[in-house]
Chain A
Amino acid sequence: MPVEERYTASLIRSLAFLRKELVTVWRQPRLMATLVLGPFLILLLFGLGYRATPEPFRTLIVVDEQDVPLGSDITDLGESFGAGIEIVGQTDDADAARRRLANREVDLVVIVPSGVVQTLSGGEHATFNVLHSEIDPVLTGSVHLLARLGVDDFNRRVLIGVVEEAQSESEGAEEVLAELDDTGTESEALARAREANPEILVSPFAVETSPLVEPPSTQAVFYAPGVLILLVQHLALTFAALSLVRERELGITEIYRTSPLTVREILIGKYLSFLVLGLLLAAALTATMLLLGVEIQGPVWSFTVVVALVILASLGLGFALSGLARSDSQAVQYAMVVLLVSIFFTGFVLPLDQLTAPVRYVSYLVPGTYGIGGLQDVVFRGQMAEPALVGGLVLYAAVMAALAWLSLRRDVEPVRA
């Protein structure tokens, strides 16, 4: 057979899969709904329902009303703790407050120290006691942070009050000092101190954070590229694995083995089919993202390259996993395991830096890790995806294609020369 005829025949064989796979997927709307719409709706529901700002802690203040420290009142205390708490009442009965905490009627009980002046005079801290009943480590951490920041602010307020009092009590002292000091230096210094802003005197240093690039406006916007990558990865992987497992179950691989079809032609056909499907899904998800207010600040071609590479890498992973699955349901289970790993290890929920070194290597076993990092670069930082991530995806896709080839060869060309 002439070479050009051989190539034409090879192309026809590969393209046969493109049509077959697209029609097969189109004719299974329920499968599409389960695999694509299901996870998408769950994540959308989570995104819509998730509150970035937690509910304030319902707080009960325990204070001896006969002994309010340094003249401050309960309003000062509430302001010091800020929006993190909501003061629901005040009492002088500590035991009753503990009982309400135990009954989950309140979230925090703040016991204001009594005998503050005496304690301070004795050279000791007057300690606020903050009681809580949280078991969630994140919330427990929040309580500790809130308490520390609240007391720092309360200390600052007390100091401001002290300075203001000292300034007002020093009125007229300049004249006395001027008579004693011919140079007038000390009286001028006192005048400056009296006129100075007490807040600046107490807190001379401040801090401001300035992001180099505009951070995402909401949590939903921040998670959007991650959702896109995880859904595209999940779809590509599942369809790739199911496609080969189903063909094996149907017995069609026997027909492949007795026909002139090669593993290379099957893989080209299948990669092409599912790349088209994956890109269609990615386009739909990107359109949704844009409608939700996400702005792609970097080059669109870089965005497209990252998505396409994630699809190719995920397809390879799916084809390779199909070699381990003996049935449809096993293939779906493997896909769900990869999705679960992806949620925790790709930087989708937690930053990768928070994973210890050996565990972090797990992250690089799923394409989503490279894809989420790459898309965040493009979408939020306005840059091209980091070359290391793109290179990682290319390498990953190549390794998976090789594994897929080996796995499929076992089915289709087990003993061919």
Chain B
Amino acid sequence: MSTTYAVRASGLTKRFGKDAGVFDIDLEVATGQIVGLIGPSGSGKTTTVRLTTGLLTPDSGSVEVLGQDPHRFTSQTRARIGYMAQESVFFPELTLRENLNFAASLYGMSYRRRQQIEEMIEFLDLGDVMDRLLRKASGGEKRRLSLAATLIHDPDLMFLDEPTAGIDPILRRRFWDHFEHLSDSNSTMIVTTQYVGEAAYCDFVGVLASGRIVAFETPEGLRRRAFGGEQLDVVFATPPDHEDVTSLSGASEVHKLRWLDDHTIRLSVDDAGSYAPTVVEWARQRDVQIEKTEPYLPPYDDVFVELVATLDEVTERESMVGNAG
């Protein structure tokens, strides 16, 4: 069965001044996927979202959303899209319930509105504050209202710009559970976040830095890419001979070896599961006692730091080559 894409962008570029903006963004989001855009502040996440929703016009490149150019969306297509802006943008003089009612009306919802609203209130734990004026609501309550307003009409495709910013960890977890549930129902989501750990919930993750996508992988693929493969921790029963152990790095399967302390090394290998018996055999031959071997899953913060550091190195190298030329 051929893949249908909710979003396809190619060579998307939008410049703000000389260096700011996004450059040559290629993006393919299949229907039903959750794609996370992760990057530091100013890396181009919001600009990418705004380009794909039609809020910005690209300087070059092309984008197709639900089979249409965003600048030529029909009302019917817009009714299939939900957009959550980075800032809370509703009316401070209305209560949260009135704001949500207004948002539902924008999508022409009438009879089923009440039930949908009650469901959203329950899901987002807003029951106690729905009759509070928005100007008196906390930042987290405003974010939750924005999310409710985005989801209220059951869109097929959602652009969520930092939906979990300012939300407590328990509720964040609940958000992601709900996103996964929506994804199971074939809804597509593009989610930006500064919480790198949230990459784990996505089907694909685009890492942005300085306006470019430096990696676009599955979460697992991202780890492999950052560290050159999977990570395998080897804990020795007694401190081994350093020279002896360092010889491991000569093996073709080992891409990197790092000492964590005098008992422990971390190996970057293609497949941690299949390489563990090889290490055990290597130790047996040298009469070195191993306490345990275990695959290590580096947190996405580390993955992200590693990727950005690699990018910085490449950029610096390119710049030096350019200057030398």
Contact = CB atoms under 8 A, between A and B. Distances in A.
B53 interface: yes
Contacts of B110: 8, 12
Given A16-B102, A20-B102, A255-B106, A417 B78 contact: no
Nearest to A414: B57
Contact of A16 (B76, B79, B105, B133): B105
Interface string B72-109: 11011011010101010111111000100111011111
B309 interface: no
A259 B92 CA distance: 20
B71 interface: yes
A24 interface: yes
A123 interface: no
- Chain B interface extent, by class: 20 to 34
Contact of A255 (B83, B93, B94): B83
B54 interface: yes
B72 A416 contact: yes
Given A12-B109, A13-B105, A252 B91 contact: yes
A415 B71 contact: yes
A19 B103 CA distance: 12
Contact of A23 (B73, B87, B98): B98
A12 B93 contact: no
Contact of A415 (B57, B133, B159): B57
A354 interface: no
Nearest to B106: A259
B314 interface: no
A29 to B, nearest CB: 11
A27 interface: yes
Contact of A24 (B83, B91, B101): B91
Given A23-B94, A259-B78, A260-B79, A251 B85 contact: yes
A185 B49 CA distance: 115
B81 A250 contact: no
Nearest to B105: A16
A262 interface: yes
A254 interface: yes
A258 interface: yes
Nearest to B95: A23
A258 to B, nearest CB: 4
Contacts, number: 88
Contacts of B54: 257-258, 415-416
B87 A1 contact: no
B49 to A, nearest CB: 10
B89 A13 contact: no
B73 A1 contact: no
A261 interface: yes
Interface string B206-250: 000000000000000000000000000000000000000000000
Interface of A is mostly: helix
Contacts of B81: 258
B108 A260 contact: yes
Contacts of B305: none
Contacts of A1: 76
A16 B106 contact: yes
A19 B91 CA distance: 12
A255 B76 contact: no
B39 to A, nearest CB: 21
B55 interface: yes
A327 interface: no
Interface string A6-46: 00111011011001100110011000000000000000000
Point out which of A5, A9, A24, A256 has the most chain B C-beta atoms below 10 A from its C-beta.
Answer: A9
A254 B71 contact: no
A237 to B, nearest CB: 20
Contact of B98 (A8, A20, A252, A416): A20
A258 B53 CA distance: 7
B106 A256 contact: yes
Nearest to A14: B105
Nearest to B149: A255
A28 B92 CA distance: 11
Report which residue of B76, B105, B110, B149 has the largest number of chain A beta carbons within 10 angstroms of its beta carbon: B105
Contacts of A260: 75-76, 78-79, 106-108
A261 B90 CA distance: 16
Nearest to A415: B71
Contacts of A24: 91, 93-94
B54 to A, nearest CB: 7
Given A24-B94, A251-B85, A258 B55 contact: yes
A370 B246 CA distance: 94
A28 B93 contact: yes
25 contacts: A1-B76, A9-B107, A12-B108, A12-B109, A13-B108, A16-B105, A19-B102, A20-B94, A23-B93, A23-B94, A24-B91, A24-B94, A27-B94, A255-B85, A255-B89, A255-B149, A258-B81, A259-B78, A259-B79, A259-B107, A260-B76, A416-B54, A416-B73, A417-B71, A417-B72
Given A24-B93, A259-B106, 15 more contacts: A9-B107, A9-B108, A12-B109, A16-B105, A19-B98, A19-B101, A20-B94, A23-B94, A250-B89, A250-B92, A252-B89, A252-B90, A256-B106, A258-B78, A260-B78
Interface of A: 1, 5, 8-10, 12-13, 15-16, 19-20, 23-24, 27-28, 250-252, 254-262, 415-417
Smallest CB-CB A-B distances: 10 pairs:
A9-B108, A16-B105, A260-B75, A258-B83, A251-B89, A417-B72, A27-B93, A260-B78, A415-B71, A259-B106
